[in-house]
Homo-oligomer: A and B are copies of this chain.
Amino acid sequence: MENSAFVTSNLWILIATAMVFVMHLGFATLEAGLTRSKNTVNILFKNTLIPAIGLLTYAGVGFNLMYPGEDFAGGIFGFAGFGVGTDAAGITDAYNAGYTYWTDFLFQGMFAATAATIVSGAVAERVRLDSFLIFSTLFVAIAYPIAGMWKWGGGFLNTLDTPFLDFAGSTLVHSVGGWGALAGVWLLGPRLGKYQGGKMRPIPGHSMPLATIGVFLLWFGWFGFNGGSVLSADPGAVSLVLVNTNLAAAAGAVGAALMSLNLTKRPDLSMALNGILAGLVGITAGADVMGPGSAVIIGLFCGALVVAAVLFFDRIRLDDPVGAISVHLVCGVVGTLAVGVLGEKASLAQFVSQLIGVLAVGAFSFLFSFGLFWGLKRTLGLRVDEEEERGGLDQGEHGAHAYDLAGSE
């Protein structure tokens, strides 16, 4: 076998990949839990197909768009060709001191579908299945890897005088998904009955155990998402990143619980759960460049902020059933900017670079998503008809139902 640092680092990134895979189950259960049982089969179907499509398209084009390589590299766009292949060097440390070509592909590929999954939650309970799957496929195959290339593939955000910093993707993964979610929610409109007679009517999810399982699995997955993004098993770096990740999640729960207690006078479980995710998204950009005190501050702030953001989006009638825009877009942006304030290279120049990254990725992701959703709306249609929405997408799209708890013979 190869030298031991290579073996151990490669192994760690593969194990991290398995943890990131679990996030897809986390998203599936969280989204299902926070929506109504008449749409559960539809949500589970989407969340089963998205990682499958994501891995296949990433193998087909995504990986080569995101990492175009030296021959093809461009500041904004590059493409190393269709499909994946490797010569013998790709499975030794000739490819990379930390991991093989296959490990690289699989870890990055497991991230890719995440962006589409974030959109899934926001447009749930009313989007047409066919339109959404077409959107997801193109979003994961094209938009996500191009934006990712700008930093991780050596593109223009990485070659700024003060390079944009985004450790594991507060911007490149979470806000990309969040901007897509915003575009989708805007074009779709709110669920029937959400805003009636000038008032907001809460539509509670159908299973808080499912939602809780989802958030804990996402927290678990973040051990791999952030820990694996060190791209080696370096003890100091991985352990610092994981301490920051966990403290931000914990602080996010506390921040959201206190904020919801303050604003609604109730200790709100779904807010505490979203607070955990808010803290995790917030720390993802800078988990490698700050101490645990800063991680706690980011967690508390994002946890509190996500509660306010959920209430705000409801006030402006952007109906996001799971709070995906608040969690992934708002906290993704805040976490990215925080690197310019609390990171070890904090400076005005760094903050400006962070802002450039946020705006550039945001403009691209939003315009791509808006255009694509708009095109689908004009052709296939984006939204199920009113009767189907009332009866539930499980019946309408799948001819099935999620539960039979009464017991049938």
A: residues with CB less than 8 A from B are: 1-2, 4-8, 10-12, 14-15, 17-19, 21-22, 24-25, 28-29, 32, 36-38, 40-41, 44-45, 47-49, 51-56, 59, 83-85, 91-93, 99-103, 105-106, 109-110, 129, 192-193, 203-210, 212-213, 215-217, 219-220, 223-224, 227, 232-240, 242-243, 246-247, 249-254, 257, 266-269, 272-273, 276, 291-293, 296, 390, 392, 397-409
Check A45 against B267 for contact (C-beta < 8 Å): yes
A5 touching B1 in the complex, CB below 8 Å, given contacts A17-B242, A32-B209, A207-B209: yes
Interface of A is mostly: helix
Check B208 against A40 for contact (C-beta < 8 Å): yes
Check A55 against B11 for contact (C-beta < 8 Å): no
Check B234 against A1 for contact (C-beta < 8 Å): yes
Q: Closest B residue to A22 by CB, please name it.
A: B220
A4 touching B5 in the complex, CB below 8 Å, given contacts A11-B233, A84-B292, A253-B48: yes
Check B243 against A106 for contact (C-beta < 8 Å): yes
Q: How far is the CA of A227 from the CA of B204 in the complex (A)?
A: 41
- Identify which of B12, B129, B251 contacts A11 (C-beta below 8 A): B12
Check A266 against B409 for contact (C-beta < 8 Å): no
Please indicate the chain B residues that have their CB under 8 angstroms from the CB of A397 in the complex: 267
**A118 CB → nearest B CB, Å:** 18
Check B37 against A404 for contact (C-beta < 8 Å): yes
Please indicate the chain B residues that have their CB under 8 angstroms from the CB of A272 in the complex: 45, 48-49
Check B11 against A243 for contact (C-beta < 8 Å): no
Check B106 against A269 for contact (C-beta < 8 Å): no
Please indicate the chain B residues that have their CB under 8 angstroms from the CB of A83 in the complex: 293
Check A40 against B209 for contact (C-beta < 8 Å): yes
A254 touching B52 in the complex, CB below 8 Å, given contacts A129-B267, A398-B266: yes
Check A103 against B239 for contact (C-beta < 8 Å): yes
Check A217 against B1 for contact (C-beta < 8 Å): no
A53 touching B254 in the complex, CB below 8 Å, given contacts A48-B276, A99-B239, A102-B240: yes
**23 A-B pairs (CB sep. < 8 Å):** A4-B5, A5-B7, A8-B8, A10-B235, A11-B11, A18-B19, A25-B220, A44-B208, A48-B273, A55-B247, A55-B250, A59-B247, A83-B293, A84-B292, A91-B236, A101-B239, A102-B242, A106-B242, A204-B401, A206-B403, A207-B402, A209-B210, A267-B398
Please indicate the chain B residues that have their CB under 8 angstroms from the CB of A238 in the complex: 10-11, 14
Q: How far is the CA of A237 from the CA of B109 in the complex (A)?
A: 18
